[in-house]
Each structure stands twice: as C-alpha cells, then as structure tokens.
Structure 1
Amino acid sequence: MLKNAKEMFAESLKKMLQQKTLDHITVKDIVEDCGVSRQAFYYHFSDIYDLVEWIFIEESSAALAKNRDIDTWKQGYCHVLQRMQENKNLVLNSYRSISREYLEAFMYRVLYQVIYPVVEEQATGLNVEAKHKKFIAHFYSLAVVSVGIDWVRTGMKEKPEDIADQVATLVQGDFIKALKKYAK
C-alpha cells in the first residue's frame, strides 16, 4: 500500500459522504471500498466516529501548523475554516449525524490550542494568574467556536477569510485589554 490504512479509510469515508449521510455509512461499506478486512479497520479505529475524529484532528493539525501567536492566529483560524470547507460534506454530515455538541467540543479543543498560546504571549510582562489566562482563552474560544458552528449550521456559504477577518477585528487588542484587567 502506498497510503497508510488510516488515510485510505479517511478517503473512502469522504468519498461516500458525497453520496449519503454519515448515519447511512457502515464500517462494512468502508472496508469493502478499501478492499480490506473489518479487522484492519478496527485495528486503527473503534468505530466510524473515531475515524471522523481522526480526520478532524489531522485536518486541523495541518491547518494550524505554525499559527499560534498574536500575528498568525487569525491565519490559523482561517486555515481551520478552509479545511472545514474543503471537507464540507464530512463537516455538515457530522454536524447533522453526530450532534452539534460533538462538533462544538472538537472545535473548542482545536481553537483553544490556538488561542491559549496567544493569551500566554500577550501576558508576557504582566502578573496574571494562570486561572485568569485560562478563562480568557476559554471565553474567546467559546465565542470563536460559536461563530464557526453558526457558519456550519447555515451551510458554510461565507468565505473563511471573511469570517476570520471579522473575528480578528472584534478581538484585536481584547486579549491584552482583558489581561491588564486581571494583572496584579
């Protein structure tokens, strides 16, 4: 095999999502499409939702590479939205099949990993307790996730660049402003 098994299963699932929803795809469908045994699938994933999560993690990791500081976080967020749009069927079917909470939790984990380092960087030279820095990152992560979920809910029609610009405009300077309020 030229591709690793996980990538092969991911491609198969994405292809099937062009034709039907996630809740109508089985492990049997995927392994038959790939020409492998069910055991091969279960060696890598516990179920289809585990495969979906792996795809989301792989896509977001690639999108966020090197975009975790004050100057590049917007670009990282834009990349996440672009990857979501590139995988529109997967995202929309996950949103509709898995539940909104699953997608929200996943997006939160991803975006918190982008936002917290930015808050840490902005806190340099300020005496701010860790719990306050975590809360600031938590607050903004929830806000950004809500914007992203609304974008998914409405069919992902708006350009990712436009959403990232709007979010960046709203939060520009807010991290440092909030940190200064918590500084001792």
Structure 2
Amino acid sequence: MAQQYTKIMIRDMCIKMLNERPLNKITVKDIVSACDINRNTFYYHYPDIYAILSEIFQSELQNAIDEYNDTLSWEEGFLVATKFAMENRRAVYHVYNSMQKEELENYIYSVAGNVMYRYVERESEGIQASTKDKKLIASFYQCALTEMVLRWIGSGMKEDPNIIIRRIGELFDGHITLSLKRSGKFNF
C-alpha cells in the first residue's frame, strides 16, 4: 500500500512539474526533493523519468478504454480520451515538444484506434461488411484523428476540441455506415 502511494506521488509530481516546465528541465533530483523521498526510492519504482511518462500514458489509455462504452458515439468516446490533455494542457504540450514525443503519439494513436475499432464494430452489426474492410475503415479514421490531434497540440491547443470533434462528426455523419454497406455490397 505504501509502495503504491509512493508511486502515485512520484507520478503526480511529474505531471505537476510538466505543467510548470518543459520535460528537459525536470530531473530526478527535482522529483525526489519535491516528494521528500530519496533517490533509491525513486529508482525502486522507476528507472528514469521517461518510464513515468510511459506509465502515465498507459494509465490514461486504460482510463479512456474503461470510460468508453458502447452507448457513446465515436465523437463522445474520443472526447472522453482528451480529458487528460484538457486537464494538463501544458504538460502535454511540454511532452509534445520533447524528445519523448513518441510516447504521446503512441497514446493518441492507441486511443483513436480503440475508439474507432469499437465504434466500427458496433456500426457494422447487421451489415455484411468484411473484417478486412472494417479494419481498414477504423484504421483510416484512427490515422486521421491522430494527425488532427497532433496538429492541434502542435499549434498550442488553442481551439476547443469539443467543437472540432463534434464538427468532424457532423460533416462525416453516416460515412462509416455507408462505407460498411459498400463493403457488404462488394464483398465477394
């Protein structure tokens, strides 16, 4: 129990510091000092700061998966997944502008994939779409959403993601279902 508390404290402090300054300005010494623990305690839980980042994004991915349910549209599911970014804009921006940008990209790609694959699967009920086409459709939207989010982060996260995602949903409404029906129609 104490180990879990310490790990959470280290993780939370890392997020707090990322909201205050860039990743390359955060050291293990800063974290252990702020947490009032020794370096050995830190290294017992994490090999380095990058391992904390990896765990943060894995944990947030799991939270997004757990919160997404089959009653949500893909737009609502994706907005659930942006909650961490909205609550920690500066931290996300600092990670985006660091050498560890790949962790963030993988997180966004995974979230977009999970939301889209589940949504496409649900939309395909009663439609004779091929598995290959369902994966292709979900992958297309996964890539598009990932790139849009990365561009949004890169531009300083100024626009409200609720407006952007909902507008995309309005503009492309029905396209996924139409694509699935085409798959069933041309499925040999």
TM-score, normalized by length of structure 2? 0.85
For structure 2, the 5+ residue unaligned runs are none
Distance change in 2, residues 1:25/1:66 (3 Å)? closer
Secondary structure, in 3 states, of the residue corresponding to 2:97?
helix
Structure 1 position 156, deviation (Å): 0.8
Distance change in 2, residues 1:2/1:50 (3 Å)? closer
Paired AA for residue 132 in structure 2:
K
Q: Which residue of 2 aligns with 1:59?
A: 60
Number of equivalent positions: 184
Matched residues in 2 for 1:113 and 1:68: separation? Answer: 11
Matched residues in 2 for 1:174 and 1:4: separation? Answer: 46
2:112 matches 1:125: no
Q: Which residue of 2 aligns with 1:26?
A: 27
Structure 1 position 147, deviation (Å): 1.2
Distance change in 2, residues 1:8/1:135 (3 Å)? same
Structure 1 position 2, deviation (Å): 10
2:7 matches 1:12: no
Structure 1 position 66, deviation (Å): 3.8
For structure 1, the 5+ residue unaligned runs are none
Matched residues in 2 for 1:10 and 1:133: separation? Answer: 37
Matched residues in 1 for 2:129 and 2:31: separation? Answer: 50
Matched residues in 1 for 2:99 and 2:72: separation? Answer: 34
Distance change in 2, residues 1:143/1:74 (3 Å)? same
Q: Which residue of 2 aligns with 1:141?
A: 142
Matched residues in 2 for 1:64 and 1:101: separation? Answer: 20
Paired AA for residue 163 in structure 1:
I
Matched residues in 1 for 2:14 and 2:118: separation? Answer: 33
Query: Mean Cα displacement is larger for which, 73-82 or 142-151?
Result: 73-82
Q: Bigger radius of gyration, 1 or 2?
A: 2
Structure 1 position 167, deviation (Å): 2.2
